[in-house]
Amino acid sequence: MKLDATDRRLLSVLQVKGRISNSDLADQVNMSASACHRRVGRLEAEGYIRDYVALVDPRKVDRRTTVFVEITLSGQTEDVLVAFEKAVALIPDVLECHLMAGSADYLLKVVAKDTDDFAKIHRTFLAKLPGVTQMQSSFALRTVFKTTALPL
């Protein structure tokens, strides 16, 4: 299915206001409520909308420190990559893991309470990941801008 202008408007609103009522969403995109409901159902069924989530404020749950960790592996064979990806997916403090092109093989986004907590995460989990030959961590001083909304 190809997205049309109405689909894009629906997705744009839902990315910002995921809990909006169907009636209010229909009003915002100038559709009837029933047509809006059918469109959103189709966008869900076809995988354009993967999930609805609550975005939790990290400060409120004592996760004030964000660390970006560059990982270099011992090799790029399928076995090495699969073993690393399975193991890193089990670490609850890792929010994102990206296979990279460039000097590092992976880039992780890790959240921690503080630097001591990150040191514990590093010792307990990161240092034990399979195939890792080098790690470089960079601490975010402040989040200037953050969004989950994709440009449509």
The yes or no reply on domain 58-139 and CATH 3.30.160.20 is no
Architecture of domain 5-45: Orthogonal Bundle (1.10)
pLDDT over threshold 90, residue 130: yes
Read off the pLDDT of residues 9-67 as tens digits, 9 standing for 90 and up: 999 999 999 999 999 999 999 999 999 999 999 999 999 999 999 999 999 999 999 99
pLDDT, residue 1, reads 77
Cα 130 to its chain centre, rounded Å, is 23
Dig out the tokens for 3 from the structure. Answer: 């997205």
Read off the pLDDT of residues 87-105 as tens digits, 9 standing for 90 and up: 999 999 999 999 999 999 9
Rama region for 67: left / alpha / beta (φ>0; ψ in -120 to 50; rest): beta
pTM score: 0.90
What distance separates the 2 farthest-apart alpha carbons in the chain?
A: 57
Confidence of residue 113 (pLDDT cuts 50, 70, 90): very high
What residue spans define the domains of the chain?
5-45, 58-139
